[in-house]
Structure 1
């Protein structure tokens, strides 16, 4: 840390901490250089980095408590939450070691009833991201999020674990089933290929897990692939294959990977296609290719991860409250403006409608709701393809995600058509 001397002898750590307290309250991760500058401006004395660090640490403890006391405080805080809000959910696990009378913290899961209730109106997809918490102890924070109807991140639950084991992951998924998913079926879990998650999902499927599908984050998959095979061409082909919706396209790109690097091809073929390709996904991702949503929310909380555990939980609580307050104001304003659709879905529909207006459509099996669509033939040589849409089966020969684009262009085109619904005109 260096020499802790510097400044006037009366300018001790406690005095520095007293000056820093109001700034630490606003910015928990207040930089050391800013601490030195603040003392210099106030007392015209230069303090060493070591002294500024210790002063900041003392101020931090005055505001947020120390780590040891915080773990004891956490259970009391959770109990207070439950006392004033009976639907608050928390699940604990402690370990008892031989020779120690005191139980040792291992795991805590918590969520809020409004999050659980509103998840029923979100896409049936859950994204998980884990990160190590900065501080004295090596603990891990798990963030679980969904996506609402407007495409916004929707926080669902949080977990703090002391060890990253198969048993911990299994407990976590069980609590997620029990308190968040509840009786909702057909839920997709998107995560990286962490061994704990893979093992836990395998165990869960032995007793009919509510997670009907487990899909891999394509960005994590690509990063692992890039570390193993350092080739821009291979990585581009991997992404193109993963995001292809038509069988002929994915077969072509897989063949190019095979010709470029046989081991890279074998690496991919050892992973089930439904885990990482849209072609075999059957629309279960609902447009979510990565765990970016949970990682983005995790990024917002980065400054809190250096705080004591109870303070971190309190900050998350405040963020959840603020989330619902802001969303409530947003929804009320939409009602005042008489907007029947959320902005993002409406924008998407308008994009599809505009695109569909350039295609020709033929309803040739009226009773079966089957349509032939010929896409617009652009001057770039693209388009001019014929696709068959079966509205009853919610399928299209284009192979696009059935959960996100089923008949979307046909429906958008139909909205502009004559009252009979069938249109053969080219717009």
Structure 2
């Protein structure tokens, strides 16, 4: 196997991440192990967090905004990946940190958010954290001072609010109104659309009214979101790594490194265009300044030397057999909970397949008579 077995990949992960740290000083790797394996004495993998130095430094020149999301890994074990992302002054996504956990829970999210606070935020005030409404995240945020007033705030992804709303009421008109009311910036218009929802369904109105308005609406946000309504930033990185999510863990970590190197090289190659002869610096936030944009990507990655030069880690690591997925024939099934957004995509694919089938049926067969 090119990437090794699942078990050997976990054993190699500490050495691989150690090499990334060695050749890129300032890169952060944090571990939280489970109990030792009684037969081998090796640690059972629990959580691992990593963030690359150029990304950490680049965040200092970005919006005061962090998007977090979790995604399933399609491996032999029930691992999940957590992703944190930011947005620079040119509205481009900058990935900040990654983590491998066993499950999304209060403990795992609290551990991840604390690593973000310690290694990414580093005392910076005024951070807005955007996430979905996963119970583990919402509870963990309340125990992380960096994301609570007066230091920062927590906001919900509007797309997920609308998805949850539509899953409950299954009404296209109401779903459209939900998005409109959440994305409206004027309180007067917000109130008008809420009244329209109330006229359509009192129960739907009450469901939305129970959610803190400042957490999901642009009109009551207070300017914290920087006009970012969803967690599409972290979803973008999730999409880029989609193919890697079926690989063993060390291969996934290597993929995040290679993608980061490629992204920073592209940013370095961009030329700074001439600006208008108008001094608008005092009219915009610092992150929109050309120098801030250049500083976001001013750091660089160093190549990792041959494995022969890697240091031997001070501990051994093995998989947790209790989270192994039972083997079954055929393709591994995804374990993510599917929502109405998935159903819409599936319906679109089915319609496209039907159109293709009908088109193919209209093509005359060679030698056939009309």
Using structure 1 for the length normalisation, give the TM-score.
0.62
Structure 2 CA distance, aligned partners of 1:173 and 1:302? Answer: 23
Q: How does 1:69-108 map to 2 (within 5 A)?
A: 69-96=8-35, 101-108=41-48
- Residue 254 of structure 2 corresponds to which residue in structure 1? 314
- Residue 47 of structure 1 corresponds to which residue in structure 2? none
Q: Is the 8 A contact 2:27 2:53 kept in 1?
A: yes
Q: How does 1:10-159 map to 2 (within 5 A)?
A: 61=1, 63-96=2-35, 101-159=41-99
For residues 109-155 of structure 1, the C-alpha deviation after alignment (integer angstroms, 9 at most, x for no partner) is 00011111110111111111211001111100111111111111111
| 1:329 to 2:264 alignment | no
Q: Which moved more, 1:239-248 or 1:144-153?
A: 239-248
Q: Is the 8 A contact 1:106 1:163 kept in 2?
A: no
Cα separation, partners in 2 of 1:206 and 1:216, compared to 1, 3 Å: closer
Of the three residues 250, 253, 259, the one matched with 2:190 is 250
- Residue 240 of structure 1 corresponds to which residue in structure 2? 180
Q: Is the 8 A contact 1:283 1:403 kept in 2?
A: no
Aligned residues: 283
| 1:273 to 2:273 alignment | no
| 1:162 to 2:102 alignment | yes
Structure 2 CA distance, aligned partners of 1:211 and 1:159? Answer: 24
Consecutive unaligned residues of structure 1, counting only runs of 5 or more, are 1-60, 354-391, 395-401, 405-427
Cα separation, partners in 2 of 1:168 and 1:210, compared to 1, 3 Å: farther
For residues 188-211 of structure 1, the C-alpha deviation after alignment (integer angstroms, 9 at most, x for no partner) is 001100011001001224996886
How far did residue 173 of structure 1 move?
0.3
How far did residue 244 of structure 1 move?
1.6
- Residue 295 of structure 1 corresponds to which residue in structure 2? 235
Which SS does the other structure have where 1:141 is aligned?
strand
How far did residue 82 of structure 1 move?
2.0
Structure 2 CA distance, aligned partners of 1:154 and 1:146? Answer: 5
Which SS does the other structure have where 1:271 is aligned?
coil
Structure 1 CA distance, aligned partners of 2:168 and 2:98? Answer: 32
- Residue 195 of structure 1 corresponds to which residue in structure 2? 135
For residues 380-420 of structure 1, the C-alpha deviation after alignment (integer angstroms, 9 at most, x for no partner) is xxxxxxxxxxxx9x9xxxxxxx989xxxxxxxxxxxxxxxx
How far did residue 84 of structure 1 move?
2.3
- Residue 308 of structure 2 corresponds to which residue in structure 1? none
Q: How does 1:208-227 map to 2 (within 5 A)?
A: 212-227=152-167
Q: Which moved more, 1:237-246 or 1:136-145?
A: 237-246
For residues 216-274 of structure 1, the C-alpha deviation after alignment (integer angstroms, 9 at most, x for no partner) is 10001000000001112211211121122222211111111112111111111110000
Structure 1 CA distance, aligned partners of 2:285 and 2:190? Answer: 20
Q: Is the 8 A contact 1:93 1:107 kept in 2?
A: yes
Q: How does 1:392-411 map to 2 (within 5 A)?
A: none
Consecutive unaligned residues of structure 2, counting only runs of 5 or more, are 287-370
Structure 2 CA distance, aligned partners of 1:278 and 1:203? Answer: 25
Q: Is the 8 A contact 1:184 1:210 kept in 2?
A: no
Using structure 2 for the length normalisation, give the TM-score.
0.72
Flag the structure with larger Rg.
1
Structure 2 CA distance, aligned partners of 1:211 and 1:197? Answer: 18
Structure 1 CA distance, aligned partners of 2:37 and 2:266? Answer: 49
Q: Is the 8 A contact 1:241 1:253 kept in 2?
A: yes
Structure 2 CA distance, aligned partners of 1:246 and 1:308? Answer: 48
Q: Is the 8 A contact 1:141 1:161 kept in 2?
A: yes
